[in-house]
Amino acid sequence: MRITSFAASVYLFFFGASLAVATDKPNVILIVCDDLNDYIEGLGGHPQARTLNIERLCESGVCFTQAHCNIPICAPSRASFLTGLYPHTSCNFGFDRWDQNEVLRNSRTIMDQFRANGYHTLGTGKLMHHLNRQEWVEYGNLADYGPFAFDGTERVAHPDVPSPYRDIGTIDGSFGPLVNLTGRTFADGKSYSWQTGNWKGMRSLRVDSQQDRDMTADELNGKWAVDKLRELANQSSGKPFFMGVGFIRPHTPLIVPDRFFKQFPLEFIKLPVMKSGDVEDTHHRSVRGIPAGKEPDSERTEDMGSRLFTKLVTSYDTQDEALRRFIQAYLACVASVDELIGQILDAVDNSPLKGNTIIVLTSDHGWGMGEKDYLYKNSLWQESTQVPLIVRAPGIVKAGGVADHPVSLIDLFPTLIDLCGLTGETKKNDKGRPLDGHSLRPFLENPKTDEWSGPDEVLTALYKWARFYDPAKQSYSLRSKDWRYIRYSNGKEELYHNAEDPYEWTNLASNPEYASMLESFRAKLDAKLPEPASAPAKSADEVWKDNFFRKHPKADANQDGTLSWPEYQIHKAKVDARKAAKGKNNGDQ
């Protein structure tokens, strides 16, 4: 295309001006670890945690000791904080694709907002649970939960994990060191090797020794980030960047190189502080129809956290041994990702990027380690809702600051907008929603300040699969500086005085002395939520068709936004034919 001299001068004027503005903008690196709880130095979750690099980031930034997620399970949590919208705002409480949710797809993600403001956006690893490549200018590696043990036929749990825990499966039933398996004799008589990969395909992961092996997915993502940072540091354009780095660990399977396990000798692992019978005055299980103090009568009624705990304990001689083995693997995974974080810090600090690059470290949610007989995420207790949140913003933060005011991941998006001076609406149109959170800048400038526009309590929702989500009828927690209030979808309540009961051992909800406190929290929660709605009357067949439509959007032949039964039947026949021809469903291309 030819450009006239006049048009060229106009183009250069406006384009040059935008570049001049962009040059003044800080860069941003957002590091998201999966399932990382408070087992890092500085948060005090486990006294043996080794996270020297995360501690280094704390010393140059502000650490929030009471940061919490807004829903403690992967997909909806990431959809929430990367769009800046509460689950009850979008009705995205589950594992449906976020980019097919009407509110979320009509609202900008963090990376899209940065791109709209002239940033180069690039990412790698697991960030959004369902990757939409169009949200990024540049993307590295897809999410990969490996390594996986492979018995020659299928991927299985680590061969050192005993049953019944290993029977849970390749992901959640697996932990242990990444070592050379060749020539080893196992109880089942099988030979094992390693694989890694994702839905697009698996590949062998060679492990000849600790020094001679292929890189794990997290190591590849760390290397990708470091290589890109070196390139960006040497660019002369001055265009700012937003980089997202998603590390899988310490998500299960808890498999990392053996040298990290050796840092935590099994016999010296300290167990978390727990109270026998602590689960008896709680109501988490009641959502699944199990009365307080009772055990589930089948795996069908058992929630995942109780199931993992029970299976782990019954797989070893004692509960102590079971927890020590799992905690050893978790600490090893945390140490491994800390090393990768250190490499990113080195790449920034040893380059011209150091003085103008904001670094944020967080997680999508926490993880319970056996407290309340629960080994998982997706609870409304402290272990599951609390996340690390560390922000380094050169020239703004009080280095080494510690903020203990309750904040949540919903505040991340407005904070970055504030720090980077971004402009423009975050909702794309009237079907989108404005941001729900508040900028954390006041705490970055003065971690002990009482002057903040945000709330005094953190709101967290609980995921439970449903065909229709009425926001007013879900389970929620409110966490203030000194208290936690939980109201489950069935009306059951828990109340903890965290200032005096930090482990949330004593549920005070039925104690008449705290009736006024209970009423206060009820009113606060009701004020945050919309009025109850009526669930649409849909048959099981209609729900089935809707689920098929989400997986196969091209089934909508006339592109009118709805899937008719004739369209469903025609496309379903095509999918079945492909299955029969290929022996497996490769998805709807």
Checking if the pLDDT of 354 tops 60, the result is: yes
3-state secondary structure of 190: coil
Residue 385 pLDDT:
98
Which range is least confidently modeled, 246-260, 451-465, 469-483, 533-547?
A: 533-547
| Tokens standing for residue 321 | 């041994």
Q: How far apart are CA 84 and CA 533, in angstroms?
A: 23
β partners of residue 124: 245
- Would you state the CATH architecture of domain 28-145+217-528? 3-Layer(aba) Sandwich (3.40)
Q: What is the pTM of this model?
A: 0.88
Instruction: Reply yes or no: is the peptide bond before residue 553 cis, omega within 30 of 0.
Output: no
**Residue of 339 and 557 predicted with greater confidence:** 339
- The pLDDT of residue 121 is 98
- DSSP state for residue 359 in the 8-state scheme: E
163 vs 4 pLDDT, higher one: 163
**Contact present, 275 and 228 (Cβ < 8 Å):** no
Q: In what order do the strands lie in the sheet with 155-156?
A: 155-156, 148-150, 193-198, 201-204
Average pLDDT over residues 555-567: 78
287's CB contacts (< 8 A; 6+ apart) are 303, 462, 464, 475, 488, 489, 490, 492
Radius of gyration of the chain (CA): 25
When the pLDDT of each residue in the chain is averaged and rounded to a whole number, the result is 91
Pairing relationship of beta strands 193-198 and 138-139 according to DSSP bridges: unpaired
Give the mean pLDDT of 347-356. 97
* CB neighbour list of residue 189: distance below 8 Å, 6 or more residues apart: none
pLDDT digits (tens, 9 = 90+) for 37-52: 999 998 989 999 999 9
pLDDT at 12: 35
Lowest mean pLDDT among 17-31, 133-147, 338-352: 17-31
Give the model's confidence band at 189: pLDDT under 50 very low, under 70 low, under 90 confident, else very high.
Answer: confident
Lowest mean pLDDT among 143-152, 466-475, 572-581: 572-581
| pLDDT on residue 440 | 98
Q: How many residues in the chain?
A: 589
Give yes or no for residue 231 having a pLDDT over 50.
yes
Q: How many CB atoms lie within 10 A of CB 460?
A: 30
Q: Quote the distance between the C-alpha of residue 212 and its chain's center.
A: 31
Measured from the Cβ of residue 90, the count of other Cβ atoms closer than 10 Å reads 25
Helices (H), 82-138: 87-90, 102-105, 110-116
Question: Strand, helix or coil at 358?
Answer: strand
Token pair for 445: 């400038």
Q: Distance between CA atoms of 302 and 280, rounded to whole angstroms? A: 15
Q: What is the largest CA-CA distance in the chain?
A: 82
Break the chain into its structural domains and give their ranges: 28-145+217-528, 542-582
Runs of H (alpha helix) within 350-434: 382-385, 412-420
Task: Please tell me the predicted confidence (pLDDT) of residue 297.
Answer: 58
**What is the per-residue pLDDT for 544?**
66
pLDDT computed for residue 309 by the predictor: 97
Q: What percent of the chain has pLDDT above 90?
A: 79
Q: 386-392 and 357-363 as β-strands: parallel, antiparallel, unpaired?
A: antiparallel
- Which pLDDT belongs to residue 552? 87
